[in-house]
Amino acid sequence: MSPSNIETQNASLDRIKQEISHLEEQEKQLRKTLNLADGEPLPDVTMTPELAAMLAQSKANAAKAGADRAAKTLQ
């Protein structure tokens, strides 16, 4: 394996670690908002139209962010 290939893989690994850290922070904030302890399961929620719209927007934002990160990785 060439040094540049190892550097590329290390950079990708660093980005993945950053993303995991970001997602963990989002989960902590969500749990804080819902007053849930770490490891406590999320409650069942009835899907309202407003919640469905927010979920769809969140999924679209996450997909775009993932695609943007993937594009940067390939550069």
Q: Cα(55)–Cα(72) distance, rounded to whole angstroms?
A: 26
- pLDDT score, position 47: 79
- pLDDT score, position 34: 81
Kindly write down the DSSP assignment for every residue of the chain, as one continuous string.
--HHHHHHHHHHHHHHHHHHHHHHHHHHHHHHHTT--TTPPPPP----HHHHHHHHHHHHHHHHHHHHHHHHHH-
- pLDDT score, position 30: 84
pLDDT in tens, 17-71: 999 999 999 988 888 888 888 887 777 778 788 888 998 999 999 889 888 887 8
